[in-house]
Structure 1
């Protein structure tokens, strides 16, 4: 098997079987990974614990608490998520499922001295983040749904309104005060051992809701970005990236990106961010920045745990294709599901979550395992070209350690034998591991055969998914 030569890695040798029969060889669907054709850098995959959903994990007794955390973050037995999106609260208390603000009472003027109040819990999100750190997660996205109400044109954190000081408002100028507020949040998390790496100041600004919400155009967002970036820099937070603007859909997010560029603030943004509720991802966004899909789920479908049932919106197979489309067809650097966990009562128990927590019990959906198939793609990986095979969707990646990840979806109604090969310099002792997910398997390791033609083959079930990870090994494999 041909791969780019890298430094040797100490890995456990894979079980490698003898070569298949001639008939099986003839049926192999070949996928070629071209390491020379490079696309976007991957920041990772993640989820949110906002609106007090993280408290559901906090309230679990052991060993179930650890079991759920393993499902979310473990890179060997779970989904291996590498991004946590936390909601920055704006409500004066945490009644219902609201997220409380660190500034329950604003000063009388934008230049007044703020009195911040930190409860050390942040609706359970701090605990979730601290646990994620233990699993090696390094990307934490703090995202505000709204500024505190006193800083807005409608004087409340809900029902839309705009940040005072932006074009079109006439309520004083609270831009600097809001920037200071966001910086304080980052500092409080740092003091608790969690480094916030990305910061967002809007959520669905094209939509007014009865809960925390704040409206803005891309041009108005650019006005605030020009205040927030130097405020972060002055606070020695130069490595905190600004994300914007969390539109309800791809088309509006694309408009925001264009407006921010026109306003001269594009270079101050780390990633342009979008949801997929009002318009699905299609094509690539015209921006020089990275692009993240930061929230989407099936809000209507009743809770389901299935992998494939005629292509239902909540099916694991549907989500495998959804994430694949974003990463491969639209060059996303990150894809985040909405909620990692949720209870049965919320919103009539739809497929908003990956894991249902019901009191002290939990149930895992196949959507989680669709994301788990991408755990072979680690932060910093570069997507490379991959193609070939009938009824297959394939994506290739080179991780920062030199390993090569190949993620393949089998759309056929029958199992197929897939063979992967790459263009490039020959790897001395390739050790290849593969895992499959379908109706019966959850990221199950399967036998890989290294053929005499240097390809590696394995069987992927009907409407299933397979992920290969190729590393340099110390022990030569058995060649069929």
Structure 2
């Protein structure tokens, strides 16, 4: 492999070689660093170097660093119960430290995750179904006397704390998959709705979660009130909570409570798919609830990322976040692979105002688990061998790494030409205003030449077939 890659660099003629400078692009000029990953992972964040040349000549992507949109909060994945349990119980100390430093650190080959999501109680990627207030007799507990984060103490909390030790700036959001069974109209964690008489108790339940995690050294900075509130799964915790119900719950209960007791915690509405923008629009149209909702959270499983812009256009002062999308073995993702995930989720979300992108499980095992119900074909950002603790990296790892490793918190997304025809891109200026980052995906089955210009400078590269490349360069003289 090493010899073959070396030959590709020398000959600049292999279909899966990293981006390379065109002979006519000029032999002298400022350096452009590039990293490339192909769908077959024969290249995996493989580095190369190009140079700027004269600005004349064909241009596919014009980067305008002066036209700025949203600022970036970060990228990452969810530390689900399954992910945390594997990291704690199927890896030794050295393996665990190495993996978390790779994912959350920036030194060496660290990919710098700045953003993560936790589940409040069980999700389908838990080893059993539970809430954080399960009275032994199953009777209502409106005083929350049985509230306890004990189910998270052996795995989720230690893993998050270790990630925070590596990256103290890590932003943590959290979402419930269901209220405790006794709060629901069917008395069950599976299916059902939140009973109106327990709206106040559920608000206090979420506050107690925030306070309990803070006491453990894990600051939660954002909550959603319900994961996928327009869906009632049949074999794992879930709860339907439509826009009028969420507006009432947020406006009359959770919003005022957090404003008084935990004003640092933001509420993100929706936390569900792109195909129903009318749902968050309904909450934002409620003047009482809207004052407590600075952002909308989105999932990728239906619709497309343009829904984020529809809501942003109606409420330009509200932020957008991609908070869940899983890779896995289904079409079109199975055949589209890395470049589809990059185009539709990462680049698509960011070009439609997302300030952060979270994919689903941080880690799963070779059997796509453990899980209790739900998705049996989902994959993690990494796969941990449950027998050896060895780690392999999935398409989703590389889709995130191509942004998370190079785009720092506070970076601005800036204008870049929408290319189409199998090429997709998004551009940034890092917060220090010193570096530009351009991420480009080539979904085509053939290599593609690409001309990029910023100001009076231009470089030309050739992207391998079915690949993603990140380009980084310093700002020119002003």
With the shorter chain as reference, the TM-score category is: 0.7 to 0.9
Is 1:255 the counterpart of 2:278? The answer is yes
Distance in 1, matches of 2:286 and 2:69, equals 27
| Match in the other structure for 1:124 | 155
Q: Among residues 291, 313, 319, which one is paired with 2:341 in the alignment?
A: 319
Deviation at 1:396? 1.4
Q: What root-mean-square deviation, in Å, do the aligned CA atoms of Structure 1 and Structure 2 show? A: 3.4
**Matches of 1:99 and 1:278 in 2, distance apart?**
26
Alignment of 1:211 with 2:236, yes or no, is yes
Shift in Å, 1:38: 2.0
- 8 Å CA contact 2:305, 2:349 repeated in 1: no
Deviation at 1:63, TM superposition (A): 2.6
Q: 1:271 to 1:296 in 2, by over 3 A?
A: same
Deviation, 1:144, is: 0.6
TM-score of the two chains, using structure 1 as the length reference: 0.76
Query: Cα–Cα, structure 1 residues 243 and 19, in superposed 2: closer, same or farther, change >3 Å?
Result: closer
| Counterpart check, 1:281 vs 2:305 | yes
Q: CA deviation at 1:298?
A: 3.7
Query: Normalized against structure 2, the TM-score is what?
Result: 0.76
Alpha-carbon distance, 1:19 to partner? 7.6
User: Cα deviations across residues 366-425 of structure 1 (Å, max 9, x unaligned)?
Assistant: 3211211112222222211112778532221122222322112234544455454324xx
Bigger share in helix = 2
Kept in 1: contact 2:274–2:304 (CA 8 A):
yes
Number of matched residues? 411
Tell me whether 1:297 sits opposite 2:326 in the alignment: yes
State the match for 2:267 in structure 1.
242
Deviation at 1:354, TM superposition (A): 1.9
Q: Secondary structure at the match of 2:271?
A: strand
- Name the structure 2 match of 1:450: none
* Structure 2 counterpart of 1:353: 380
Residue number in structure 2 paired with 1:378: 408
Call closer, same or farther: CA 1:414–1:182 in 2, change over 3 Å.
same
Match of 2:187 among 155, 158, 162: 155
Question: Partner residue of 2:259?
Answer: 233
Match of 1:179 in 2: 203
Give 1:189 deviation, angstroms: 1.4
Distance 1:118 1:388 in 2: 47
Unaligned 5+ residue runs, structure 2?
A: 1-28, 31-46
Aligned to 1:193: 217
1:48 paired with 2:51, answer no
Q: Distance in 1 between the 2:278 and 2:407 partners? A: 30
Distance 1:95 1:124 in 2: 13
Q: How far apart, CA to CA, are the structure 1 residues paired with 2:52 and 2:327? A: 43
Change (3 A) 1:195 1:30: same
Cα deviation 1:316-363 (Å, max 9, x = unaligned) = 222121234423442222222111111223379634212111212222
1:107-153 deviations in whole A, cap 9, x for unaligned? 96675362432327356221221122123242101111111111111
Change (3 A) 1:213 1:413: closer
Unaligned runs of 5+ in 1: 3-13, 166-172, 303-309, 424-452
- Counterpart CA distance in 2 for 1:312 and 1:115 is 44
Structure 1 counterpart of 2:65, from 20, 35, 39: 35
Give CA-to-partner distance per residue, 1:55-109, whole Å, 9 cap, x none. 1011211332123223422335143222111000069xx9971364332229966
- Given that residues 339 and 443 in structure 2 are in contact (C-alpha distance below 8 angstroms), is that contact kept between their aligned partners in structure 1? no
Partner Cα distance (2:113, 2:337) in 1: 19
